[in-house]
Amino acid sequence: MTVRVRFAPSPTGYLHIGSVWTALFTWMYARRHNGQFILRIEDTDTRRTVPGALENLMDGLRWFGIEWDEGPDIGGPYGPYTQTERAPLYQQWAHWLVDNGYAYKCFATAEELAEMRVLLEARGDHSGYDRRYRDYPPEKVAALEAAGHPYVIRFKMPLDGTSVVPDLLRGDVVFENVQLTDFVLLKSNGLPTYHLAVVVDDHFMKISHVTRGIEWLSTAPLHVQLYKAFGWEMPVWVHLPVILSPSGRGKLSKRTQAFLDSGEKVLVRADEFTRAGYLRDALVNFLVNVGWSFGDDREKFTIEEAIARFDLAAISPAPVKLPYAKLDWLNGQYIQEMPPAALAKAVAPFLAAAGYTVDTAALLPLMPAMSVRLKRLTDAVDFLRFLYEKAPLPPAGEVTDKRLPPAGALAAFTAARNFVQTVQPYDYDQLQAGLNAIGEANTTNGKAGPFLGKMRLAITRQQVSPPLFESMLALGRAESAARLDDVVIALEQLALTP
Ligand code: GLU
């Protein structure tokens, strides 16, 4: 069997991280079996369509490296891939069902339905429909139609027996038909509901495996009945588990935005993860390890390695939570592996977003030291702020130490400023040798350490910062000397103050 799978989002807003998760597994399965991955846009609920959502969605998928073989933008042999462009096909098959006795026209008006609902609810029936048009006499149907009354087409659900949904993760899931209503297939505006569209499209697009959220399992018996009525072969159904919010109460959603133990907001939208400074490869690695496990106790792997062993059948049907804390760890691992130039390029947009004008080349000396310190790319902003902003000088008292009393501090910083102004070349080795010597000569214990710690504070003016020599290289000779000059002036004043 050729594997043909699809991701079928509705363009109703942002890209949810759970959708990326679904899309990833679907896409991986296609790649594993040299099949096709199809992007189909389910936009028949036109009131919910949000302008720009489709572009946003496609950009998001591409960012994650999920490329489709057929889709609304690139076409393909089974297009169009946007459901509103396929309306005639759904109409044709809805009418086929009517003509063959599997469906019927229902003329209930909105008022009629509202009344019906109240009466039914009073009896504890939540179906919302009493099937009053199911066996309506054909001549009355014809008269209503001739008079121009709008209608929907409803499926004639069997009134007894069971519908069995074979689910790859759960086995056969059995539903009592008496529990099911006569679902609407075609709305009065001529557009299909999800139920008709999904069955028609999955059939005509030759979909082999339907991967979708567990929320569709409860209406899957209708889909099974539709396949039966049409006489079409069913796809393999794979209902993916729900992703719960970190609290475990309810599903992960923007509406019930929760907070992590750390006090941070839980990220839900795919673009929130990218803006929070996570790398593509780390995020993909992270998501793929939710509900499926790579095995061998390995948490870190490439997408190619994962594809080589991926199987839809190995996904666990149990509800899952995203282990957010693990993402930070994983992201840190990926950052550590980045060559300095790549890391500089990756952090640059975050610095720019913070309002700084970034010279990527100037960041290079700091990148090896940064790569072991960053968990997220956004962390770079706090570390590197000193490059772009000169914070106020710490009180002169803070650049002295019990091993570097004011007189020694003044001598050391003066020597350091002079040295920095003139040293040739201005490079790591020279800075290290020269400043170590100055420190050793001026501390009471003859060790450079206490002085170098104060130097770092004088240069970066941050409690948390990259190491000294790299910071000085990134800052450049003139600015480093100027910052030391500030310290010299402050210490001179301290010496003058009685
Ligand atoms: N449009 C549906 C959704 O966004 C797709 C479900 C499916 O994949 O069949 O949930």
Nearest CA to ligand 1 atom 5: 8
328 part of a folded domain: no
**449 CA distance to ligand 1 middle (Å):** 61
* Ligand 1 atom nearest to 216, measured from its CA: 6
Strands 152-155 and 243-244: unpaired
Q: In 3-state terms, what secondary structure has residue 393?
A: coil
Q: Are residues 368 and 403 in the same domain?
A: no
What is the predicted pLDDT for the residue at 498? 64
> Residues 376, 482: one domain?
no
CA contacts within 13 A on the Cβ side of 233? 8
Residues 207 and 353 in one domain: no
Residue with tokens 């959502």: 53
- Strand 171-176 and strand 162-167: the pairing is antiparallel
Structure tokens at 477: 């000779």
Range of the domain at 105: 85-240
**Contact, 243 vs 321, CB < 8 A?**
yes
Sign of CA dihedral 138, 144, 146, 149: negative
Rounded distance from Cα 74 to ligand 1 centre (Å): 20
Ligand 1 center to 48 CA (angstroms): 14
Cα 212 to averaged position of ligand 1 atoms, centre (Å): 6
Predicted pLDDT of residue 257: 65
Find the Cα–Cα–Cα–Cα dihedral 411, 413, 414, 415, rounded to 10°. Answer: 80
Radius of gyration of the chain from Cα atoms? 33
Mutate to test the pocket of ligand 1, among 4, 6, 10, 196 (most ligand atoms within 8 A of CB): 10
Atom of ligand 1 nearest to the CA of 6: 8
Residues 410 and 382 in one domain: no
State which residues of the chain have pLDDT below 50.
none
* Of 358, 456, 324, nearest in space to 398 by CA: 456
> Ligand 1: distance of its center to the CA of 14 in Å?
14
Q: Give me the CATH number covering residue 462.
A: 1.10.10.350
Pocket test for ligand 1, best of 12, 216, 237, 253 (most atoms within 8 A of CB): 216
> What was the pLDDT predicted at 442?
97
Q: Is 90 exposed, middle or buried (0-12, 13-18, 19+ CB in 10 A)?
A: buried
Domain boundary pick from 214, 240, 266: 240
Q: Tell me, what CATH number does 138's domain have?
A: 3.40.50.620
Q: Kindly report the protein residue whose alpha carbon is nearest to atom 6 of ligand 1.
A: 212
Domain boundary among 218, 240, 262: 240
| Residue with CA at minimum distance from ligand 1 atom 7 | 212
pLDDT at 264: 79
Cα–Cα distance, 471 to 465 (Å, whole number): 8
**What is the per-residue pLDDT across 158-177, written as a single tens digit (0 to 9) for each?**
999 999 999 999 999 999 99
Domain contains 434: yes
Contacts of 109 (CB under 8 A, 6+ apart): none
Given this model, what pLDDT does residue 248 score? 83
Q: Kindly state whether residue 72 falls inside one of the protein's structural domains.
A: no
Q: How many domains does the chain have?
A: 3
Give distance in angstroms: CA of 441 to centre of ligand 1.
Answer: 72
Is residue 257 in a domain? no
The amino acid sitting at 257 is Q
Strands (E), 162-225: 162-167, 171-176, 184-186, 209-213
CB 470 within 8 A of CB 366: yes
Q: What are the residue numbers of the active site? A: 254
Nearest CA to ligand 1 atom 3: 9
**Does one domain contain both 379 and 467?**
no
Each residue's pLDDT tens digit, 287-315 = 999 999 999 899 999 999 999 999 999 99
Which of 208, 240, 272 is the last residue before a domain boundary? 240
> Distance between alpha carbon 238 and the CA centroid of its chain, in Å?
21
Instruction: For residue 497, count CB atoms less than 10 angstroms from its CB and return exposed for 0-12, middle for 13-18, buried for 19 or more.
Output: exposed
Residue nearest to atom 10 of ligand 1 (CA): 9
Residue 259 β-bridge partners: 265
Around Cβ 219, how many Cβ atoms within 10 Å? 18
Q: Cα of 32 to ligand 1 centre, how many Å?
A: 22
Q: Is 17 part of any domain? A: no
Ligand 1 atom closest to residue 215's alpha carbon, by position in its atom list: 10
Tell me which residues have their CB closer than 6 angstroms to ligand 1: 8-10, 42, 198, 212-213, 216
Question: Which residue among 205, 209, 212 has the greatest number of ligand 1 atoms within 8 angstroms of its CB, and so is best to mutate?
Answer: 212
Q: Do 166 and 204 sit in the same domain of this protein?
A: yes
User: Quick one: 407 and 382 in the same domain?
Assistant: no
CA atoms within 13 A on the CB side of 417: 17
**Does residue 155 belong to any structural domain of this protein?**
yes
How far apart CA 137 and CA 430 sit, in angstroms, is 98
Asked whether residue 421 falls in the same domain as residue 364, the answer is no
